[in-house]
């Protein structure tokens, strides 16, 4: 494992794995993250990144889309098969199709180059916060045929396992915890993503679409769009 400083004596500081082929970006990111107290692992290729992801036990991964030996999207797909560690895609491509492609491969978030360190740190904190016991995920939740356990990240629908990415789990948990109430877009993004929605992405809409696909087999759960406001999870007695 290749570590670049910052590890405390207790070894409990969050570890961030940077998979990025541009040396200047790797250096600036690792330096900035070390100043914030994070442990940092770095990889310049997909092969090395996969190895460190599997052996270095990172708490979060920053993954470049364009790597010299493989697509970052493929790396994301492989990692998501093996782990639920938060993945933030870092890309110079800001086309909607590229962004959606990364999310569909299992990424939890993305930032586009060039980006400010402050924005990236906010995204990192938001994604790490999903493990915080002081967050919204406070206990086993039962809503109609849906049962969710935030401690194990397990969800069951009609007593069948429901396969969810970490972000989809957090989103569904929040909506289910507020079942019947209208949740505004801003509130959902603040509570689930942890930063103010700036109107530049369709991240929430894409995740809502995926949730609807996951819930399609249950007529008892309806994920309703409240036009111009947000979303509401309705539970019908069927």
**Tens digit of pLDDT for each residue in 69-86?**
999 999 999 998 888 899
Cis status of the peptide bond prior to 184, with omega within 30 of 0:
no
- What is the pLDDT, as a whole number, of residue 171? 92
Q: In this predicted model, what pLDDT tens digit does every residue of 159-200 receive, in sequence order?
A: 899 988 888 988 998 898 888 888 888 888 877 876 554 544
- The boundaries of every CATH 3.40.50.2300 domain in the chain are 15-131
Average pLDDT over residues 112-133: 73
Distance CA 37, CA 35 (A): 5
How many C-beta atoms lie closer than 10 Å to residue 68's C-beta?
9
Q: Which CATH class is domain 141-235?
A: mainly alpha
Q: What is the residue-averaged pLDDT of the chain?
A: 82
- The boundaries of every CATH 1.10.10.10 domain in the chain are 141-235
pLDDT(136) > 60: no
- Determine the length of the chain: 238
Name the CATH topology of 15-131.
Rossmann fold (3.40.50)
């Amino acid at each position: 494992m290749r570590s670049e400083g910052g590890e405390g004596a207790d070894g409990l500081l969050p570890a961030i794995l940077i998979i990025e082929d541009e040396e200047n970006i790797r250096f600036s990111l690792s330096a900035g993250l070390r100043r914030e107290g994070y442990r940092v692992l770095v990889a310049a290729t997909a092969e090395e990144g996969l190895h460190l992801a599997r052996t270095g036990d990172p708490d979060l991964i920053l993954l470049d889309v364009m790597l010299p030996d493989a697509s970052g999207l493929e790396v994301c797909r492989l990692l998501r098969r093996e782990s639920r560690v938060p993945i933030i895609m870092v890309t110079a491509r800001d086309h909607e199709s590229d962004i959606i492609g990364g999310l569909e491969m299992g990424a939890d978030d993305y930032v586009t180059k060039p980006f400010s360190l402050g924005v990236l740190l906010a995204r990192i904190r938001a994604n790490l916060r999903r493990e915080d016991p002081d967050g919204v995920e406070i206990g086993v939740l039962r809503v109609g045929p849906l049962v969710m356990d935030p401690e194990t990240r397990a969800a069951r629908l009609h007593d069948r396992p429901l396969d969810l990415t970490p972000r989809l789990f957090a989103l569904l948990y929040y909506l289910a915890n507020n079942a019947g109430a209208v949740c505004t877009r801003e509130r959902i993004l603040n509570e689930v993503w942890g930063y103010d929605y700036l109107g530049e992405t369709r991240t929430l809409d894409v995740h809502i679409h995926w949730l609807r696909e996951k819930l399609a087999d249950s007529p008892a759960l309806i994920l309703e769009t409240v036009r111009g406001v947000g979303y509401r999870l309705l539970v019908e007695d069927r």
